[in-house]
Each structure stands twice: as C-alpha cells, then as structure tokens.
C-alpha cells in the first residue's frame, strides 16, 4: 500500500513534468537564469547595494571599474547602484500590468469562445475596437493626464494589454471546442467546469505563457519609453529617467565618455527582455508534452 502511494506520486513527477523541460533546453536555461537574476536584482539588490545620490563631480562619466561596476553618470554617481534600485520599479510595474491584462484577456476570451454565439460576437467587437486604438500614444497621453503614481501606471498599461490575448483565445477556444477529446469528455459527462479547466485551459497555457512574456517586455518598453520622453517621472533611479536626464539634460549623445553608460543600460534592457522571452518560450515545452523531444 505504501509503495503504491509512493508510485502515485511518481506519476505526477514534478521534476520530469515541470523542471526538466525548462532546464534541458538552452533557451530555457538562459531564460531561467535571467529571471533569477532579475528577481535577485529587485528583491535582494536594493538591500545589499547602498545608494548614494550625492553628486561627486570628480567621478563624472567614470568608466566601469571594480568600484563602479557600471561606471558613473553625469554627476559622478554610481550607476550600478542606481540601476539596481531602479530595477524594482522597472520590473514590477510592467509585471503587474501584464498579469492584470492577461487575467482580463483570459476571462473574456474563455467567455466569448466557450459560450459562443451572441456573447462571442459582442466580445469580439469590443476587442476589435480596443485594438484599433494606438496604444503607445494613448498610454503617453493618459500617463501625462492622470496623477502620477505606481497604481495609475499599472492600470494604464493593463488597460491596453488585454485585447491581443482575448482575440487569440477566443479563436483558439472555439476551435478546441470541436476537438474529438472535448467531444469525448462531453460524451462521458465530465462536466462543463472540467472541460473548461482541464481540457481547454491547459491548451491555452502556451498562448498565455508566451503572451505574458511578450506583454511584459512590451510594457517594460512602454514604461521606460514614456519616462524617457519625460512624461511621468516617478523615481530618480528609474532607468528611463536616468536615460532621460543623461540624454536631454546632459547631452550624453555628444559626449564620448558617456557612451559606456548609455550602452550598458541598453544592453541590460536587451538582456532582460531576451531572457524573459526565452523563458516564456520554454514554458511551451512544459505545457505541451509533445514538444519534449528528448524523452
């Protein structure tokens, strides 16, 4: 009896089902490491690395060294510390926004796709209208108009995050409804909630995972973008703000010594985005056992 129960656990082998697919692929490994780095940067980082916002003109635009890993900015302040402290905002706001956007998108998508008929047409129409609004200018304007706080930023970004996912979920659910295994589940009276959550939702996970990653990256770009353009300054350590003052106020593009600083921020952004995207891609193998080639 005990050996049987132990065997039962091995059937749902957490390692084989969830961890191995991610680690085994090079993209997954890269992505996981990036996510871990990001989490460390945002949580532990600010506690460990002291922030010094005092100007030290003697260190202006200093090049990267052991003391100043990313070099210094226009006031001689340590860029590394500023970036670490800014990462909380830069990572967290888009994450919350994307999460909310995905939740709205999934709920609307499931409703529209599963129920079909009139609801589907209404939801599709709504989504299509929303999609035609140019998101970046709209975010820009709303960020300028509304009171500046973390919450408003999250909400503004979320509001433009849900339409894309809704559309693809509606069409995917409508087609999944006709699959033979769904028909078999109906035949065997497995119940609507079972069909929704165990037959249909698992097949949406690849879309959801990927969308979460893509939205996250997009929202991060939007956030940094609008702050870079000077619309909503939130915090001095926000990367967008750093870039903004560097380039507009201190004309960093014309100063050769400033190049490493700008490059470092851009490269960091690229690395983070790439890692998130790769991680999201590798989640596909978790949710779709067929893709696991190595077994």
Listed ranges 152-160, 193-201, 214-222, 247-255: which one lies at the site for other proteins (CB under 8 A): 193-201
Q: Which of 66, 118, 254, 293 contacts other proteins by CB under 8 A?
A: 293
Measured from the CB atom, the residue of 7 and 66 that comes closer to other proteins is 7
CA distances from 14 to 11, 21, 179, 289 (A): 9, 11, 28, 13
Size of the residue set binding other proteins (CB under 8 A): 31
Residues 6+ away with beta carbon under 8 Å from 275: 30, 31, 33, 34, 35, 37, 38
Measured from the CB atom, the residue of 4 and 54 that comes closer to other proteins is 4
Q: What is the SS3 assignment for 13?
A: coil
Measured from the CB atom, the residue of 95 and 287 that comes closer to other proteins is 287
Q: Which of 35, 186, 236, 247 contacts other proteins by CB under 8 A?
A: 186
| Calpha distance 183→91 (Å, rounded) | 42
**78 phi, psi to nearest 5 deg:** -70, 115
Start-end of H helices in the chain: 2-11, 14, 20-24, 26-43, 45-48, 79-110, 117-132, 135-145, 150-159, 162-176, 180-187, 192-194, 201-228, 239-244, 259-287
Query: Cβ of residue 17: shortest distance to other proteins, in angstroms?
Result: 9
| Calpha distance 85→91 (Å, rounded) | 11
Query: Cβ of residue 8: shortest distance to other proteins, in angstroms?
Result: 6
| Calpha distance 177→19 (Å, rounded) | 30
Listed ranges 3-11, 137-145, 154-162, 211-219: which one lies at the site for other proteins (CB under 8 A): 3-11
User: Counting contacts by CB under 8 A, is residue 27 touching other proteins?
Assistant: no
User: Counting contacts by CB under 8 A, is residue 10 touching other proteins?
Assistant: yes
Q: Which of 56, 148, 192, 194 contacts other proteins by CB under 8 A?
A: 194
User: Counting contacts by CB under 8 A, is residue 181 touching other proteins?
Assistant: yes
Residues lying near other proteins in the complex (CB under 8 A) are found at 1, 4-5, 7-8, 10-11, 13, 179-181, 183-184, 186-191, 194, 198-199, 202-203, 287-290, 293-295
């Amino acid at each position: 009896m005990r050996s049987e129960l132990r065997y039962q656990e091995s059937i749902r082998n957490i390692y084989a089902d969830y961890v191995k697919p991610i680690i085994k692929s090079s993209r997954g490994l890269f992505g996981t490491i990036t996510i871990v780095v990001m989490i460390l940067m945002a949580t532990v980082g600010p506690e460990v690395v002291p922030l010094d916002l005092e100007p030290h003109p003697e260190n202006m635009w200093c090049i990267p060294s052991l003391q100043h890993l990313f070099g210094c900015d226009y006031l001689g302040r340590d860029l590394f510390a500023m970036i670490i402290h800014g990462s909380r905002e830069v990572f967290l706001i888009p994450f919350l926004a994307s999460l909310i956007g995905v939740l709205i998108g999934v709920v609307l998508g499931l409703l529209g796709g599963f129920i079909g008929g009139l609801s589907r047409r209404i939801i599709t129409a709504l989504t299509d209208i929303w999609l035609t609004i140019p998101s970046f200018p709209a975010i820009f304007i709303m960020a300028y108009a509304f009171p500046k706080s973390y919450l408003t930023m999250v909400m503004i970004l979320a509001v433009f995050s849900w339409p894309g996912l809704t559309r693809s979920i509606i069409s995917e659910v409508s087609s999944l409804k006709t699959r033979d295994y769904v028909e078999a589940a109906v035949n065997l009276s497995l119940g609507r909630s079972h069909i929704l959550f165990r037959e249909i939702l698992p097949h949406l996970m690849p879309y959801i995972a990927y969308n979460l990653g893509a939205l996250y990256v997009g929202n991060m770009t939007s956030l940094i973008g609008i702050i870079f353009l000077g619309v909503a300054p939130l915090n001095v350590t926000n990367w967008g703000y750093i870039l903004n003052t560097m380039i507009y106020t201190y004309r960093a593009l014309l100063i050769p010594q400033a190049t490493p600083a700008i490059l470092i921020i851009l490269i960091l952004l690229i690395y983070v985005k790439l890692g998130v995207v790769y991680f999201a891609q590798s989640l596909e193998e978790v949710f779709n056992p067929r893709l696991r080639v190595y077994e």
